[in-house]
Structure 1
Amino acid sequence: MIREAVLSQNGWYADLSTVVFATVFGWDFRAMNNSVNRRLWRVLLCLLLACPAAAEAFQGAPAAADPRVGKRVLVIRHGAPLRTPDATVSSAWLGEVFTVSLVNGEWLWIQEKGGWLWQQETVLYDGAIEELTARVTESPTAENHHLRGVALLAHKQYRKAITDFNESLRKAPKNSGALNNRGKAHYLLGSHPAAIADFTQALAIEPTNVLYLNNRALAYIETAQFSLALADLQSALKLVPDFAEALNNRGIVHQRLQKTNEAVADFTAALKLNPKYVDALGNRAFAYRRSGQYENALADLEQAVQISPLTYEATNDLAWLLSTCPDQRYRQPERALQLAKAACEMTQYQQWNTLDTLAAALAESGQFAEASKWAATAAEKAPEKERARLQGHLEQIVAGKQIRE
């Protein structure tokens, strides 16, 4: 599903934005009602999390030797539970991707969720398309076409994904999940009216599905239909008040409507539910920057980078603030340039947003010739709606002026 829209220094990002029990260390999860077993399991689990060598001792082989450790898996069952001996701690979306931290038999430890995921409800991310293609070849059912579409979606092969969703819907027209996922593919291709149509059809089948409401709201945001977006998000939050993504996205609507205080309140509420919600931190930082609260913005971006150092958005936004802040107390040219280069490396110097930030950082460091080159490249790569603004940045740099937010 489309989970959230994300604000950055150069505008809005959309990130996608679907039990059988097995034995673990000799005990079945179903047996954990026994208090002795439960206490022993908790001790074992603590040992495993604290020391991988404990897993080695139990499994008879080094944990790192298992080829699944460190690999990404794609969830192929919506609502797949992530469990501890005491409870279901979370559930996964169809198409959600996780990295495996530890394994035991058919159970995969997902560190970011703090729970065990059953392997049979996943496929390896790298081989997902091939494995699901084999299933389609053997049995071309609506479900298998849908699952392969989900894998293609995860691999950013959006047009091929739509072809599979079309076939799935031809065989099962009332599959709201396939409609939702086709809407997501249209959204990511920039076909927002088509996305709205698919999400609306999905909601006609499941009118209280908060994920579909959230997704349609994102498409409404992209088409500047803010009142409709707000209505969908309010409906979702009425159904699920602790829906952090909907709170984040309502904050985005408020920000677009220039209601900064309401936006900050929504982002803060989302962060109360999930303190490591990097997108909400980035969005709140954007709102703080727009209102001149640079110290608060800096604190949020520093925290976002610390939580997610390998994703470019927070790194890029921090570099932008340190390069362009109107208040010289917060400008740090040397660090800004280091961060800007890191963000460009994460995106293979292909993302217009990071290239624009690199140009601003170089200009702040007095390297105007180099800055001009990257500013020109950023303007060329930018989408149509951003080109005029980036062309303005280029003209300032050519004139020997630093960029100021």
Structure 2
Amino acid sequence: MLENIAYIVAAVFCEIYLILMIRGLFSSRSQGHQFSHLKNLDSAIASYSKLIQKNPRDTKSYLARSSAYIQQERLTEALSDCDMVTLLESDNPYAFLNRGAIYGLQNEHEKCIDETTRCLELKPDTLDALINRAHTYARLGNIDAALSDFARIIELAPRNPDHYFERGNCFLNLHKYPEAIADYTHALKQRDKTWEYYYRWDCHQKRGIAHTKLGHLKQAREDFDLALKHCLFHEAIRLDPHDLDNYILRGNLYYYAEQYQNALRDFLQIQKQTTLTPDQQTILGFCYLKLGEVQQAKAIFRQALESNVYNADIDQNPGDPGNYLDRGILRFELQEYQSAIDDFNHALKLGEKSEELLAARGSAYLKLGKYDLAKQDYETALSRAPECPTTYICLAWMLATCPEPQYRNGPRALELAHRNLELLPEINWNSLSVVAAASAESGDFEGAIKWITQAMKLAQNEDKTDCEKQLHYYERNQAYTDLDP
């Protein structure tokens, strides 16, 4: 994602820079200015070339022509013009500025940083140089340096929503979720119609991801719903139903918004025309899982794991805890509980701050019968994130159904299960089944039957079988014991 953003920003920067250069260095009567303003770049280049023929030392025309070349992706010619400016004026900051943009587009990131830094030495606080360097730092994974540049950028241009959005992306990449949310919120408060049209959906999506990591599922759902409302993918797909990128982006959004049937439809549409990437394959598997197609989901997870879906990312960036968390969740779903715990432990050591991690590790411990460790993880997660519904449902299930009687606590399980319902953005069958189990453990079998009956109405496919199994116990006035927690 950062690579795509950086490329787009570099391209936009070149366009903005061309306009600024022309505005500052040429009169409104200049033919080159007029042609550039009208986006007639061939005519603009021809006009600047005539000026250069008349005066081979005209650095302003070289710079303007270089910017036009950049927009046409004629990067070798653009670089040649920048080099000529440096020969004529060794301390011209704009030559380094343009050259930095060219190197950025060529993925020569270190050179891009060197050039933009030299521009800033000659002309401190050049906003475009700071922007270009910040994005390049981000692409290289030097997030602290990127944040430093973005802090100065925001001081210089506090009303530009894009700067807050991009700094929020850096915070998200560093797993600093509250800081990311603050920047995304600030970006959304700005009133920039062009930015809102193209990027508001993505800002809501990213803020939703940060909320999810903190366990704020209601706020996350609101953001994902708004992202779907403001995104352009529905219209783009209507206009060009063969552009798979729009299905991918919309499918991801549907998945985040828990519209699993819609997400499944988009990814199956992609699969008709091309092979899904391992990441897309994994999302497809989770769609099936959420829709109750457990065996279908596990088959996809197994295939994804065998294709080393996360191993390559881990090898490339071993310091990113998110890859270990994601692989651990996949291993958990495949009942590889100890391997999942190993991944969760590694993610913790690397500083993963997602509130789902402790709950996930606790659930793996529960599956292995390590009830003390499971309860410890659940209680710790609950104290750290009292607004995260995931922990409530996990701990409530353990207290209501654990095979070891000393860990059962019906009244507390019932309290936790009801709190989970309050925190959820939307009631699901699983949460209702936990209330049923807690009711039964508390001796309220009539209530248990009521809750599990409601759960059955929402459950699909294989999940209905689980509900029917519980109902059989409650009808005989027996609490449910999960022999395979």
Shorter-chain TM range is 0.5 to 0.7
Between 1:275-284 and 1:318-327, the stretch displaced more is 275-284
Match of 1:113 among 179, 189, 202: 179
Query: Given that residues 322 and 332 in structure 1 are in contact (C-alpha distance below 8 angstroms), is that contact kept between their aligned partners in structure 2?
Result: yes
Is 1:246 matched up with 2:323? yes
Conserved? CA contact 1:149–1:160, under 8 Å = no
Specify the alignment match of 1:261 in structure 2.
Answer: 338
Return the offset for 1:76: 7.2
Conserved? CA contact 2:327–2:343, under 8 Å? yes
Conservation of the 8 A alpha-carbon contact between 1:343 and 1:354 = yes
Check if 1:219 corresponds to 2:284: yes
User: Where do residues 188-199 of structure 1 align in structure 2 (5 Å cutoff)?
Assistant: 188-190=259-261, 191-192=263-264, 194-195=266-267, 198=270
CA distance in 2, matches of 1:261, 1:92: 27
Q: Deviations over 1:267-291 (max 9, x none)?
A: 1112222353222212211111111
CA, structure 1 residues 387+145, in 2 after alignment: closer, same or farther (shift >3 Å)? same
Q: Does 1:302 align with 2:379?
A: yes
Structure 2: unaligned runs, 5 residues or longer: 2-7, 14-124, 131-160, 209-221, 289-296
Taking structure 1 as the reference length, the TM-score comes to: 0.60
User: What amino acid is aligned across from residue 407 of structure 2 in structure 1?
Assistant: Y
Paired with 2:461 and 2:171, the residues of 1 have a C-alpha distance of 44
Match of 1:102? none
Counterpart residue identity of residue 229, structure 1: A
| 2:377 is the alignment partner of 1:377 | no
**Out of 44, 63, 80, which is 2:166 matched to?**
80
The answer to which structure, 1 or 2, has the higher relative contact order (CA under 8 A, 6+ apart) is 1
The question of 1:182 aligning with 2:254 is answered no
Task: Tell me if 1:276 matches 2:353.
Answer: yes
1:226 shift after superposition: 2.6
Deviations 1:4-51 (A, max 9, x none): xxxxxxxxxxxxxx999xxxxxxx9999xxxxxxxxxxxxxxxxxxxx
Q: CA deviation at 1:357?
A: 0.7
Distance 1:380 1:76, change over 3 A: farther
Does the Cα contact within 8 Å between 1:248 and 1:280 map onto a contact in 2? yes
Q: Shift in Å at residue 197 of structure 1?
A: 6.0
Indicate if the aligned counterparts of 1:79 and 1:91 stay in contact, CA closer than 8 A: no
Structure ranking higher in strand proportion: 1
Match of 1:14 in 2: none
Distance 1:123 1:293 in 2: 45
When residues 356 and 197 of structure 1 are mapped into structure 2, their CA distance, relative to the original with a 3 A threshold, is same
Residue pair 1:267, 1:284 contacting (<8 A) in 2 also: yes
Aligned to 2:188: 123
CA distance in 2, matches of 1:149, 1:113: 15
Tell me the equivalent position of 1:345.
422
Alpha-carbon offset, residue 156 of structure 1:
6.7
Residue number in structure 2 paired with 1:229: 304
| Contact 1:80-1:92 within 8 A present in 2 as well | no
Amino acid at match of 1:117: D
- Give 3-state SS (helix, strand or coil) of 1:155's partner: helix
* C-alpha displacement of 1:168: 8.3
Query: Could you tell me which amino acid in structure 1 is paired with residue 264 of structure 2?
Result: H
Using a 3 Å threshold, how does the CA distance of structure 1 residues 135 and 248 change in structure 2: closer, same or farther? closer
Q: Counterpart in 2 of 1:312?
A: 389
Aligned to 1:155: 225
Amino acid at match of 1:219: L
- Aligned position for 2:475: 398
Counterpart of 1:353, as a letter, is N
The 1:291/1:372 distance shift into structure 2, 3 A limit, reads same
Judged with a 3 Å threshold, the aligned counterparts in structure 2 of structure 1 residues 118 and 312 are, in CA distance, closer, same or farther, namely closer
**What is the one-letter code of the residue matched to 1:166?**
I
Displacement after TM superposition at 1:358 (Å): 0.7
Give 1:219 shift: 2.4
Summarize deviations over 1:280-305 as a string: whole Å, max 9, x none: 21221111111100111111111222
Greater CA deviation, 308-317 or 243-252?
A: 243-252
Distance of aligned partners of 1:322 and 1:247 in 2 relative to their CA distance in 1, 3 Å threshold? same
**SS of residue paired to 1:81:** helix
Q: Is contact 1:76–1:123 with CA below 8 Å preserved after alignment?
A: no
Q: Is the 2:403–2:481 contact (alpha carbons within 8 Å) kept by the matching residues of 1? A: yes
Tell me how far 1:258 sits from its aligned partner: 2.9
| AA in 1 matched with 2:237 | N
The question of whether the paired residues in 2 share the 8 Å contact of 1:359 and 1:375 is answered with yes
Whichever residue aligns with residue 189 of structure 1, its letter is Y
Instruction: Give me the identity figure in percent.
Output: 23
Deviation at 1:77, TM superposition (A): 8.2
Q: Secondary structure, in 3 states, of the residue corresponding to 1:123? A: helix
The structure number with the bigger radius of gyration is: 2
Supply the AA of the counterpart residue of 1:228: Q
Q: Distance in 2 between matches of 1:251 and 1:200?
A: 29
Equivalences, count: 300
Distance 1:249 1:82, change over 3 A: closer
Distance 1:200 1:236, change over 3 A: farther
* Residue of structure 2 in register with 1:207 after alignment: none
Question: What is the CA-CA distance between 1:389 and the residue it aligns to?
Answer: 0.7
1:375, 1:393 within 8 Å by CA — same for their partners in 2? yes
SS in 1 for 2:167: strand
The 8 Å contact of residues 301 and 317 in structure 1, kept in 2 or not, is answered as yes
Cα distance, 1:238–1:402 mapped onto 2, change above 3 Å: same
**Offset of 1:324 from its aligned partner?**
0.8
TM-score (norm 2): 0.51
Distance 1:353 1:29 in 2: 55
How far does residue 90 in structure 1 lie from its aligned partner after superposition? 4.8
* Kept after mapping to 2: 8 A contact 1:226/1:253: yes
**Root mean square deviation of aligned Cα:** 4.6
SS at the partner of 2:183? strand
Name the structure 2 match of 1:101: none
Any gaps of 5 or more consecutive residues in structure 1? 2-17, 21-27, 32-74, 94-109, 137-142, 205-211
Corresponding letter in the other structure for 2:224: A
Aligned counterparts of 1:168 and 1:147: Cα–Cα separation in 2? 21
Q: 2:304 corresponds to which letter in structure 1?
A: A
Alignment map for 1:24-35 (pairs within 5 Å): none
Residue 13 of structure 1 is matched in structure 2 by none
Taking structure 1 as reference, are residues 149 and 336 closer, same or farther at Cα in structure 2, changes over 3 Å only?
Answer: closer
- Alignment-mate amino acid for residue 163 of structure 1: H
Aligned-partner residue type, residue 443 of structure 2: G
